[in-house]
Amino acid sequence: MKEGFTFPTACTILFLLIIVVVIATWFVPTGQYDRNEEGEPIPGSYHQVESNPQKIIADGLLAPINGMYGIQGEDGSVSVYNAGELYGAIDVALFVLVIGGFLAITMATGAIDAGIGKITTALKGKERWMIAILMAVFALGGTSYGMAEETLAFYGLIIAVMIAAGYDAVVGVATVMLGAGIGTLASTVNPFATGVASNFAGISVADGMVSRIFILVVGTIIGIIFVTRYADKVRKDPSKSLVYDKKEENEQHFLKGLSAEAMPEFTGRRKVVLGLFGLAFLVMIFGVIPWNDLGIPLPQLDWWFGEFSAIVLGFAILIGFLGRIGGEAKISETFINGARDMLGVALIIGVARGVSVIMNNGLIVDTVLSWAEAALSGVGGVVFVNVTHLLYLPLGFLIPSSSGPATVTMPIMAPLADFASVDRSLVVTAYQSASGQLNLVNPTSAVVMGGLALGRVGYNTWLRSTFPLLIILFILYAVVLSIGVFLPGQIF
């Protein structure tokens, strides 16, 4: 029996892209822009230079390694053997590994599971409020650290509670998936989206914070209204359920396991752990905000990924001991296992950065910018940010990784925003909102398909039920991005 087509992994797609770009360096005209003191290209200064074609074996295989180191030689080429600095990926990749260990230790304490379980039991009989509160909690997880795979542990309990309250499995799935998904697409400090994209755009994570918080709050409210309206309709008339044909089957399947006892007890110790977990992100936010530029008399720390890694590492150790997950050996083992789970993400960042290395060494980055500058000349900022948003939708499908598309495209899109007189933070917001929106329904996403399988909801049913919400959210992003063109960019 012949196997069907399997969509390539993100790493495979990125390696193929490196090969394509290597070949392009032999045919695409080479050129450079003059740069200002900040290293930004000066519009209209593009000029051709001598070509520097790359080799598939010698340069292609070395590209991901050079992308990690991010070292630039005096001739402009990127190589691990020369001195000089370019935006490297090693600091981002290391942070990803460290935060993987931090998340693993926090999860091992049972604090997050216990918190969700406490909300579920405390609001029994008030399930309409439960939908709103749980979606808000999951949204906080999504916006802070890109909560995704972690949600799979909650589907069974939450779906069972919703069915017992007179709702259906779709309500349970939507509460979890849309809550965390809307939080992720409105990422404020999510290191895998906002952090990576901001780093390669050459801006602070704090840039664009206000617009992302606005999208988070309004988007979550829209999501809550959307889910509760459907839930009320199903409770009033069960035949309106999108999975009405499975009503009896789902009741037998889910209600037999209805028990909050499956969740850990929400002890005082776990409350402290949750507090420390949130404090870690607040400390990082405080350390990155340019208080002086805002005229606020607070210490401006100018932290970046090195300091972020140190902060997260410190909180991981503290939570490990206070959470009593075991002795020193258990804490180390848990941290290492968590970092290991993020190894694929870290490697994807390096491979993706390799694409930029080849383009940079082949001297075709500025050529692509020149073409885009000519195509977008005279186009207003509003058109630019919305076209950028649209372009990131198919790109997110082709490269199924939150970090990969940002690493590949930001070195081009960020300077292009300068040409269009658009703040770079809007490009970051456009990228993560498009990527996050796609991941609400992406059929290649293990989180989407896994959640639907746990909820016994068909993909076609899910797509049909969420399509109106996707349109509403798309309009929300378009409005926010368009307004952002006319407002001060550093924070908005």
Residue 29 inside a domain? The answer is no
Handedness of CA 381, 382, 386, 387 (dihedral sign): negative
47: β partners: 32
pLDDT higher than 50, residue 82: no
pLDDT higher than 70, residue 254: yes
- C-alpha pair distances (Å), 304 with each of 69, 352, 475: 17, 21, 33
Residue 229 inside a domain? The answer is yes
**Helix runs in 123-208, H state only:** 127-145, 155-164, 169-185, 196-201
pLDDT higher than 70, residue 478: yes
pLDDT digits (tens, 9 = 90+) for 371-426: 877 776 667 889 999 988 888 887 776 666 677 778 778 888 888 888 888 999 99
Average pLDDT over residues 52-58: 86
Residue 316, domain extent:
91-341
- Does residue 334 or residue 326 have the better pLDDT? 334
Contact predicate 426/208, CB 8 Å: yes
pLDDT higher than 60, residue 301: yes
pLDDT higher than 80, residue 36: no
Of the listed ranges 17-21, 85-89, 293-297, 461-465, the one predicted with least confidence: 85-89
Contact predicate 92/239, CB 8 Å: no
Residue 418 inside a domain? The answer is no
Residue 465 inside a domain? The answer is no
Query: What are the backbone dihedrals phi and psi of residue 76, each rounded to the nearest 5 degrees, phi first?
Result: 95, -10
Residue 206 inside a domain? The answer is yes
pLDDT-derived band at 335 (thresholds 50, 70, 90) equals very high
pLDDT higher than 90, residue 310: yes
Per-residue burial over 298-307, b = 16 or more CB atoms within 10 Å of its CB, e = otherwise: eebeebbbeb
- Token pair in block for residue 238: 């069960």
- Token pair in block for residue 463: 């797509």
Closest CA to 48 of 36, 32, 35, 28: 32
The per-residue pLDDT for 83 is: 31
DSSP per residue over 289-314, as a string? Answer: S-TTTTT--S------HHHHHHHHHH
Helix (H) / strand (E) element for 426: namely helix 424-438
Identify the top-confidence range among 69-83, 152-166, 333-347, 408-422: 333-347
As a whole number of angstroms, the distance between CA 346 and CA 97 comes to 7
Residue corresponding to tokens 């490990």: 320
Number of domains in the chain: 1
Contact predicate 17/408, CB 8 Å: yes
Helix (H) / strand (E) element for 389: namely helix 381-398
Query: What are the backbone dihedrals phi and psi of residue 327, each rounded to the nearest 5 degrees, phi first?
Result: -80, -170
pLDDT-derived band at 81 (thresholds 50, 70, 90) equals very low
As a whole number of angstroms, the distance between CA 475 and CA 440 comes to 16
The per-residue pLDDT for 136 is: 95
The per-residue pLDDT for 438 is: 86
Residue 97 inside a domain? The answer is yes
Contact predicate 28/367, CB 8 Å: yes
Of the listed ranges 106-115, 290-299, 334-343, the one predicted with least confidence: 290-299
Helix (H) / strand (E) element for 47: namely strand 47-48
A 10 A CB-CB count for 117 gives 22
Average pLDDT over all residues of the chain: 84
The per-residue pLDDT for 262 is: 64
- C-alpha pair distances (Å), 289 with each of 106, 203, 303: 26, 11, 9
pLDDT digits (tens, 9 = 90+) for 426-445: 999 999 998 888 889 887 67
Q: Is 376 helix (H, G, I), strand (E, B) or coil?
A: helix
**Could you write out the three-class secondary structure of 114-136?**
HHHHHHHHHCCCCHHHHHHHHHH
As a whole number of angstroms, the distance between CA 198 and CA 267 comes to 37
Q: What is the CA radius of gyration of the chain?
A: 24
Closest CA to 391 of 415, 410, 370: 410
Contact predicate 363/76, CB 8 Å: yes
35: β partners: 41
Q: Which amino acid is at 53?
A: P
The per-residue pLDDT for 314 is: 95
Residue 75 inside a domain? The answer is no
- C-alpha pair distances (Å), 327 with each of 114, 176, 247, 323, 333: 22, 33, 47, 11, 10
Residue corresponding to tokens 């490196």: 18
As a whole number of angstroms, the distance between CA 357 and CA 253 comes to 52
The per-residue pLDDT for 371 is: 84
As a whole number of angstroms, the distance between CA 301 and CA 288 comes to 7
Residue 84 inside a domain? The answer is no
